[in-house]
Structure 1
Amino acid sequence: MLKFTKIERPSTPREAYELLRSSKTARVIGGGLWMRLQHRAIPCVIDLSACGLDQIEESDDAFVIGAMTPLSALESHADFARATNGVFTAAVRDIVGPQFRNLATVGGSLYGRFGFSDVLCALLALECEVKFTGAGRMSLADLCEEGYPRDVLERVVVHRRPYQASYKCLRRQATDFPVVNVAAAYWGDEWHVAVGARPCRARLLTGSQLGLESKRPSREELARALEAVRTLPFGSNYLASAAYRRHVAGVLAVRAVCEAAGMEVPAPLEGRFEDEAKALGAEGAEE
């Protein structure tokens, strides 16, 4: 059972930050949906629900998303969906159900850097920053790599770009955790591909790392990208083996890039996917 000794509800992010700094045992609570599964006692939790961080603001340059914005609010935001080619909506539509997405927050999903996170994977492929009360702004990619600052996450900033983007995910069935997820986006004259549920947190690869040099990649470029994705470390758990994940991640990456580029997957690559799947065998997903 999860127990709180004390709950603080500050009215501003700065107040929340000072409370956090004043106690080494204090924890910030976002939606709290994953925290509730823990069996522990927390002396003090800081609830951000009164800090006014649940709004989505638009400008000519960016979408500024409050950290306490529910996933469902961003999922149904028509302007954001148009601006990002619907990649976020595609990413979250199978996260448990509408009731869950009404409570789960954007900030909580990103700050947690959960390995299974569809939210992190989708936004990582876009030009995205996070703003902390103390540390200020940093890229989402840096947050993934550098770890958790003991700070209050206030906002997520998604810059407007002419995104060509796609999200691909394999689940055993709807609402399950993803076996593997991939987001691909072309912006800034470069491809950005995020690979998550490995089962560790998502990693971002850019065009130079992938061997993707053009907006509409050739078969040779896609083959290089396939192998580059498969060089990432993959692990096994109850959902799938490392070998199965490695195979699927490469397939999903190529398909996401092709869909974002508005092109079909070259036939030789599709045939290769089928042959590899047969070689792995059905047991690959069960190990």
Structure 2
Amino acid sequence: MTRTTPVQLTGILTALITPFTDDGSSIDAARLKAHIDRQFDAGIHGLVPGGSTGEFTTLTTEERKQLVELTVKYTAGRGPIIAGVGSTKSSEAIELAVHAAQAGADAVMVVPPFYDPVNYEQLQELLSEIHQASKLPILYYNIPAASGLTLSPEQIAGLSNVGVKWFKDTSGNAPDFTELVFHYGNQIKAMNGWDTLTFYGIAAGNEAVIWGAANFIPELAVELWNALAVKNDLRRGREIWASIWPITKFLESQSYSAAVKTGVELRGLKTGGLRKPFALLKEEHRVELHKLLLNAQVKIN
């Protein structure tokens, strides 16, 4: 499947969870479909499968391909799909990117190789090879804590020369993020990916944000977007953010994927938990998240 017009990424893009069967042995297609339907019913604008929130490091190469295929199928044109294809090996990242293009994804998200960090020249070469092989635009996943690679704003902007159109910022570095938004915005488009900075990212003019919490508070996420980005209603945006903020702060104090999947379960959808050795939140933290959702007037099933 080949896109004939450039994709535009706007709005709330959910960093999608990967639902498993109860024994964790495989992706649960029915649960994934139910989750995706709920996302779009709530007004979410697009999906990002196969990222950190989607536990990509616990998936086999074939499962990562299956996840993209199912996400494209169940989305059924309701929004853009940005497929996570990051890997410690260039060959696998390229293979996944080519497959994503064939499956109908609109773009690919690339996290740098982790454990052993690459240098800037190696990163440029990798991104160029992915772009040339897949012909898809790239969203660079800036997450220094995981990749071990810290780039300057100028270096991130320079990635636009090798097929990178956007970057997801999960650095938590607000000054550098601000520099990229306001000084390099003509070269590369910024998307916030750090939960507690979501309000700032939207208010600063991000055309889209990538948000794991939207898996279980999609309604609030869309309300915040509409207030700040669509209606320019700062007062209403502050009110909504006041209810979301404690939730985002909680997520960043826990194992993120575990907290997000626990939130999805609290909203009434089974996730199959996380793949071992990881697990859903312990009961005391589950109760805490439950209270935060009730305080935000989120419906618990």
Q: TM-score, normalised by structure 1?
A: 0.30
Higher relative contact order (CA 8 A, sep 6+): 2
User: Which structure carries more helix by proportion?
Assistant: 2
User: Which structure carries more strand by proportion?
Assistant: 1
